[in-house]
Structure 1
Amino acid sequence: MCFPFDAIVPELPERFQVIAGGAAGERLTLTSADGTEFSAYLAQADGPTGVVVLPDVRGLFRFYEQLAERFAAAGHPAIAIDYFGRTAGLDPRDEDFEWMPHVKQTTPENIALDVAAALQALGTERAITVGFCFGGAQSFMSATMGHAGLAGVVGFYGSLVSRPGGLQPDGTRWSIDRAPEAKVPVLGLFGGADENITPDQIAAFDAALPVEHEIHVYEGAPHSFFDRRQESYKDESQDAWERILGFITALEVPA
């Protein structure tokens, strides 16, 4: 698991806040190209670059709705999506939701269909994906899918290999395997004390990317450090915000 159910998104750096008092959002239902209905949470803003938020293994819950609101408060319309419309339906879920059986039934290709629907719902000039843990892997793999309008991807401690018996026991090609096929810029943010994402994996991912990219490791930070309740990593969280929003700004500068 990545974030606990009661995690809180770190506050935006003040200089990026463009909507006074923050932004609000709404829950809605989207439909993928294969006819699947799935839940999403949209926070509107007027900026030209949107954000598709890809949650951890829990799927859509309040942390990711709040994250969409934070991006909107920075002027970037954002939509957070759920992965489990095919297997768990549309209803909101509580802390007791047994997510692993549903995670095991996902595929990167089906999630890509949902990302495509989210990009269409945003309707912005360009967009990025931002994912965490399992969602970080999905974000990295989104760089290989040829999505129309996708200008870059960001992954927080995205899993880089498929572990036997773990999230994808069928050996599905995962982030490192697909990295050479990336088509858009990549920003990868990792915790140096993350026991499940090792330095050799990060180095291999870095070396395999054929596109413009930045890989940053926060030494001493654990998995899931981006949580306001973890005061010890406040500086790392603020730096992560700076890097993501700077990444977006760079995409908006004409070549």
Structure 2
Amino acid sequence: MPEITRRIHRVSRREFIATATLATGFALAVQPISAKVIKTNTKGLIAGAVKIPVADEEIPAYRAQPSKGANFPIILVIQEIFGVHEHIQDVTRRFAKLGYLAIAPELFVRQGDVSKLTSIEEIRPIVATVPDAQVLSDLDATVNWAVKSSKGNASKLGITGFCWGGRITWLYAAHNPRVKAGVAWYGRLVGDKTEITPQHPLDIASTLTVPVLGLYGGKDTGIPLNTVEQMRAKLNNKSKIIVYPDAPHAFFADYRPSYREKEAKNGWRQLQKWFKQNGL
């Protein structure tokens, strides 16, 4: 049994969540760190760990926003399967430098601290137990916290996510019509329908009203291009998908060997353009 599972068995669920903290570095499961890691400083920002009230408990999150001003546009930043580690935290700081209030809630905390695990094989069984309904509810709570406690503007709400978080980006855009725009980075589009994953992005594509930009790699071995084309065919003209022909999965993850600088920088520019043209 993986160590994280043994630890959860020794403490109550409530005690685990109450004492959970965010990762202080990168995900152990995807070492070594790339030489091209982007490091965004906190000058002019308020940045760090916060607690988000959800249901009858709290979950940890990383928040970054300008140190001066108010009424900031809100960007939800949705993690990869590796948790809210340093790369995801850095992405929130990049948004804050652009004038946004960015928040990355730890959406796996009830199931386990995946950032401390050393292999994807240990992480996947934990992530597979995370119900979509729980995630969507936690994101609703995160938006409420952003408005009430962190000077966020509820009428200017955006979302972006990576890998696992890319899938959630599509689903949350369908769940919450208040979202102005979303950007989904190489999120899975199809899958088995289960009690905890009753829908997938392809299922909601034809009825999606929130404009979502999908960014995908043509050499992503985990997301077949035919599923990307199926998604593209079902979307209305508010949303669109860009495929980078030579990019693999996780091409934005600058701390991993999969990083592709050219495609990542272009994707980041496309994201900023997308958010601006959709009122963010």
TM-score by length of structure 2 reads 0.75
Q: Deviations over 1:21-66 (max 9, x none)?
A: 574511111122x334211100012574221010111222111111
Select the residue among 30, 46, 52 that pairs with 1:4.
30
Partner Cα distance (1:189, 1:36) in 2: 34
Q: Which residue of 1 aligns with 2:12?
A: none
Q: Is the 8 A contact 2:63 2:101 kept in 1?
A: yes
- Preserved contact between residue 132 and residue 155 of structure 1 (Cα < 8 Å): yes
Q: 2:276 aligns with which of 245, 249, 253?
A: 249
Moved over 6 A (4+): 168-171
In structure 2, the residue matched to 1:198 is 224
More helix by share: 2
The farther-off stretch of 132-141 and 222-231 is: 222-231
Deviations 1:80-119 (A, max 9, x none): 111123233xx79424384323212212221101111121
Q: Give the aligned residue type for 1:81.
A: P
Provide the residue aligned with 1:71 in structure 2: 95
Gapped regions of structure 2 (runs ≥ 5): 1-26, 148-152
Q: Is the 8 A contact 1:162 1:174 kept in 2?
A: yes
Give, in angstroms, the shift of residue 248 of structure 1. 1.3
Shift of 1:11: 7.1
Q: 1:210 to 1:25 in 2, by over 3 A?
A: same
Distance 1:9 1:25, change over 3 A: farther
Cα root mean square deviation, aligned: 2.9
1:31–1:231 CA distance, 2 compared to 1 (3 A): closer
Contact 1:49 1:248 in 2 (8 A): no
Instruction: Name the CA shift for 1:9/1:235 in 2 (closer, same or farther; >3 Å).
Output: same
Give the secondary structure class of the aligned counterpart of 2:191: coil
Aligned to 1:41: 62
Contact kept, 8 Å, 2:83 with 2:115, in 1: the verdict is no
* Alpha-carbon contact 2:48-2:64 (below 8 Å) kept: yes
The residue that corresponds to 1:99 in the other structure is 123
Q: Which of 85, 98, 110 is equivalent to 1:61?
A: 85
Secondary structure of residue in 1 paired with 2:242: strand
Shift in CA distance, 9/79, structure 1 to aligned 2, threshold 3 Å: farther
CA distance in 1, matches of 2:250, 2:44: 23
Deviations 1:205-247 (A, max 9, x none): 1122235012100111000111335597211111111111111
Q: Which amino acid aligns with 1:238?
A: K
Which stretch shows the higher mean deviation, 3-12 or 238-247?
3-12
Distance 1:171 1:127 in 2: 24
Q: Please state how far the C-alpha of 1:174 moved relative to its aligned partner.
A: 1.0
Pair member with larger Rg:
2
Per the alignment, in what secondary structure is the counterpart of residue 175 of structure 2?
coil
Within the alignment, does 1:129 sit opposite 2:159 as a pair?
yes
Q: Give the one of 122, 133, 141 matched to 1:117.
A: 141
Q: How many residues align?
A: 239
SS of corresponding position for 1:246: helix
CA distance 1:54–1:29, change in 2 (3 Å) = same
Query: Does the alignment pair 1:138 with 2:159?
Result: no
Mapped partners of 1:155, 1:222: distance in 2: 15
CA offset at residue 122 of structure 1? 2.3
Structure 1, 198-207 or 43-52: larger mean CA deviation:
43-52
The alpha-carbon distance between structure 1 residues 161 and 22, as it changes in their structure 2 partners (threshold 3 A), is farther
CA deviations over 1:146-192 (Å, ceiling 9, x no partner): 25x4211111000011158xxx6976321111222322101000001
Percent identity over the alignment?
25
Say whether residues 1:239 and 2:266 are aligned partners: yes
